[in-house]
Amino acid sequence: MEWTSDPTAWSALAALLTLEIVLGVDNVVFISILASKLPAEEQDRARKIGLLAAGGIRVLLLLAVGWVISLKKEMFSVGSVGFSGKDLILLVGGIFLIYKATKEIHHKLEGDTGEVSAKVAPTLAAVIGQVLLLDMVFSIDSVITAVGMTTYVWVMVIAIVTAVFVMLLASKAIYTFVNTHPSVKMLALAFLLLIGTTLIAEGFGQKIPKGYIYASMTFSIFVEVLNIRAQIKKKQVDPIRLRESIVSDEAQA
């Protein structure tokens, strides 16, 4: 436990905890979208199991950090563009994310097409499997970042476990909020498209500063919060105007 007396370890813990919480919010949003199609009695289980399993994946990748680091080595090249194991994982994850987000957006805008009987309802196992697949893509990059920030494995593990605990406490509120407001759910799907596009760009070796991505997402969330507040205020004012109109009509009669 020598890291407890090292100031740099504490600063790394704070930075890693922030990184893991941001990753956890991404997981909650993705789980919220997938779990909403499950039966009501399984949605809460999907949310909790998904977060715990995602945290477990990150810890396992952290313990296998040597293998994760080896993914940065170039495996082959196409023209002037080289591809490593990490690049291939990012490409697959980006394509998967864009596919899922596009499919969900189409479902929200166009509804179901074709015979309903031909559709296969999602299962709890399928939802968890998709969450783990996506979290592995996100975790590869975060583990590499964590290793570059500190050499203390316990610092990384504590950051991951603490972030999972925080997300378990906050996930119910996030889950309810996303699924209660259709516009927020559509915005979340747009974020998934943005993240998927970023993953593909990074898979081709184009580095996009994460600050740009999160700044644009934060601004979009801020605008959406203002929109929701305006809608709430309008709903509160309309009944008052309705009562005033009824009183005025009765007075004229």
Any residues with CB less than 8 A from the CB of 143 and at least 6 apart, and which? 58, 61, 62, 65, 68, 156
CB 163 within 8 A of CB 23: yes
Q: Read out DSSP for 52-71? A: HHHHHHHHHHHHTHHHHHHT
Question: Rounded CA gap, 94 and 213, in Å?
Answer: 15
Question: Rounded CA gap, 66 and 55, in Å?
Answer: 19
Across the chain, what does the average pLDDT equal? 78
The answer to whether the predicted template modeling score (pTM) of the entire model surpasses 0.85 is no
pLDDT, tens digit (0-9, with 9 covering 90-100), for 48-84: 888 888 888 888 887 787 777 777 788 888 878 888 8
For residue 252, how many other CB atoms are within 10 A of its CB? 6
Side chain identity at residue 143, one-letter code = V
Question: Rounded CA gap, 142 and 73, in Å?
Answer: 17
pLDDT at 117: 42
pLDDT, tens digit (0-9, with 9 covering 90-100), for 200-235: 888 888 888 777 877 887 888 888 888 888 877 777
Residue 115 has pLDDT above 50, yes or no: no
pLDDT, tens digit (0-9, with 9 covering 90-100), for 137-153: 777 777 777 777 777 77
* pLDDT tier for residue 251 given thresholds of 50, 70 and 90: low
Estimate the crossing angle of helix 153-180 against helix 7-35, to 10 degrees.
Answer: 30
